[in-house]
Structure 1
Amino acid sequence: MRIAVLGAGAIGAYVGAALHRGGAEVHLIARGPHLAALREHGVRVFSPRGNFTAAASATDDPREVGPVDYVFLGLKAHQYAGCGSLISPLLGPDTAVIAAQNGIPWWYFHGLTGPLRDRRIEAVDPGGTVSEVLPVRRAIGCVVYCSTEIESPGVIRHLEGTRFSIGEPSGEVSDRCRAFSDAMVAGGLKCPVESNLRDDIWVKLMGNVAFNPLSALTRATMIEMCGHPGVRGLIAEMMRETVAIAGATGCHPSISIDRRIAGAARVGHHKTSTLQDLEAGKELELEAIIGAVVEIATLTGVPAPTLRNVYAAVDLLARTVTGPRVPVA
């Protein structure tokens, strides 16, 4: 099995190292000092589950790799539309793309029954630019329950979690999903194949939709937000609105709001990825995490005043970091 990891950052390099350890042929696509370290030393993983090094191939030119069986996409969702020149050399006729993203994926309504069947979500697929680069037929969804960070170039610190739930947009438990799951398990990761991955998407999104934008607005860690009575109440209201929106699309997250908040508090003094990006002056991953949720609220007629207000505030903040964006109505 040949697998390319496009965007071999904290999560991508960790997954690539595990797949390589499990026996897959892995090619990491990276750049800069991180790439230089990967080439010289391999991926060095430090984890409570045991440290290891994986000497996977690493390059900044996907043309050196050529078509593979799977592309594990470790990019942020807002980078998808612009990744065509990087991903096209990796795609053969049957290549599948495992998109390990936060929030609502571009394929969300593909194949669903009802009035929103195959509806494009502008927040995550503006003008169809993502679908053009990543055709839905190639997509395998992936919900990441894993926390890692780049400690230094080529060095990945695994903090917690090893589950990467995957699934077809159609709900089919396909051979290509089973084969990828087997490769992940061989590398020491959990990779259940879900017949309804959308429920998993909303379970994780309950946390992301609240904690990520609020952390950027407050500069607070997870436990600090959960421990502040006013912010905790705001988080709960955002989660209630999100659960209602999920229900309007036929999904029912299998976790209570209290339990979801309690789980976040246990993470402790951890900065969300959005806050880390803000502090680094990078573009914020807002559209998939909250913009698309607001758009789906509009499409389904679900009132979401708290989500809309927080989205407006964090959108204005993002403009001060990366310049004008087009907000979702």
Structure 2
Amino acid sequence: MKIAVMGAGAVGCYYGARLAQHGHDVVLIGRPQHVQAINKNGLVFESAGTVLNIALSASIDPTAVAGADIVLFCVKSTDTQSAGEAMAPHLSPDAIVLSLQNGVDNAERLGTVIGRNVLPAVVYVAVGMAGAGHVAHFGRGELVIGPGAQSEKVASILRPAAIPVDISENAAGALWAKMILNCAYNALSAVSRLPYGELAKGEGVMTVIENVVAECLAVANAINVVVPGDVQAAVAGIIKTMPAQYSSTAQDLMRGKPSEIDYLNGYIVRKGGALGIATPANQVLYTMVKLLEMRPGQEGTV
């Protein structure tokens, strides 16, 4: 299969690497520094104590999606519209497009831009870019997608490439469950510049997290979204399964980039406001990250 990854950051590089390892024709579409490094030396793929160089194609040009059977759309939520518009004219008529993004409305927004159905995928993976063309995998890697013929086809391709896929009738609820995890930890990790395991030791942190989660669940309930599983247990479990992981929001701010906070805590604040539901904990975290984004010189190290 030809597979294009639109947005070759950490998530896109990870799944692209897995698929290339399994023999698929993968092209990564990303930023110049990563593309140049990958085309010169291959993608450096670090996982489970091993480091591999994986040969695959990379491009800065959205036209590289042409001819792809599957497109993994992995850009930041802030870039959904612009990236969608750039690739739309070059998509094959039968291409299956998956949104592997944070937030709950990207698949719908992208579908409007490109004029076709987009499969939402919930991503559970701990990864980061350790350098130009160098992705480091810290844990997990499973996806949750909705039901349908396209989903079955996608699962049949991804599963043999060591990518677990769960096809769920409640993909919308799964998206919300993932967003709630992000709302609970992303801003706190960004503000403290600490990984999950360390920030959880802070005085009052777990109380703040409990309040954030309660507000998110109140908003979800008001719009009839059924969030599956034990959300509180899932939130607590992140500390054990990803103790050394910095949130994507923290990584963005440390690199001087805008974050996706508008589509996480900011989304809850907006929805809550429209529904008359108070969301003070989310509001404070959202505001703190927005203030940090205003400051120059946010670059640091992860």
Q: TM-score range by the shorter chain?
A: 0.7 to 0.9
Equivalent residues of 1:62, 1:87 under 8 A apart: yes
| Match in the other structure for 1:277 | 252
In structure 1, how many angstroms separate the alpha carbons of the residues matched to 2:273 and 2:248? 26
Displacement after TM superposition at 1:272 (Å): 1.1
Give the TM-score, by structure 2 length.
0.88
The match for 1:142 is: 121
Instruction: Note if 1:160 corresponds to 2:139.
Output: yes
Q: d(CA) in 2 for partners of 1:33 and 1:312?
A: 31
Shift of 1:132: 4.7
| 1:86 to partner: Cα distance | 3.4
Alpha-carbon distance in structure 2 between the residues aligned to 1:307 and 1:33: 35
Deviation at 1:245, TM superposition (A): 1.4
Of structures 1 and 2, the one with the larger relative CO (CA 8 A, separation 6+) is 1
The residue aligned with 1:111 is none
Deviation string for 1:179-237 (max 9, x for gaps)? Answer: 11111112111012222111211222222112111222333321232112312111111
C-alpha spacing 1:214/1:96, structure 2 compared with 1 (3 Å): same
Deviation at 1:141, TM superposition (A): 0.4
Instruction: Label 1:70 to 1:257 Cα distance change in 2 as closer, same or farther (>3 A).
Output: closer
Extract unaligned runs of 5+ from structure 2.
298-302
Partner of 1:68: helix, strand, or coil? coil
- Counterpart CA distance in 2 for 1:245 and 1:65 is 37
> CA distance change for structure 1 residues 11 and 106 in 2, over 3 Å: closer, same or farther?
closer
Provide TM-score, normalisation by structure 1. 0.81
For 2:229 and 2:84, the matched residues in 1 are separated by 37
Report the Cα offset of residue 35 of structure 1. 1.2
Question: Does structure 2 conserve the Cα–Cα contact (< 8 Å) formed by 1:68 and 1:90?
Answer: no
Distance 2:274 2:80 in 1: 23
1:51-84 residue CA offsets vs partner (Å, 9 max, x unmatched): 5443222222233552422211121110112214
Displacement of 1:131:
5.5
Structure 1 residue 320, shift from structure 2 partner: 3.2
User: How much has 1:257 moved relative to structure 2?
Assistant: 4.9
CA–CA separation in structure 1 for the residues paired with 2:148 and 2:16: 22
Which amino acid in 2 is paired with 1:133? V
Contact 2:85 2:113 in 1 (8 A): no
Count of matched residue positions in the alignment of Structure 1 and Structure 2: 296
Who is 2:208 aligned against?
A: 234
Unmatched 5+ stretches in structure 1:
109-124, 168-172, 323-329
Of the structure 1 ranges 196-205 and 292-301, higher mean CA displacement relative to structure 2 is found in: 292-301
Answer yes or no: is the 8 Å Cα contact 1:221–1:271 preserved in 2.
yes
Runs of 4+ in 1 over 4 A off after TM superposition: 49-53
Q: Does 1:220 align with 2:220?
A: no
User: Residues 219 and 271 of structure 2 are in contact (CA less than 8 Å); yes or no, is this contact kept in structure 1?
Assistant: yes
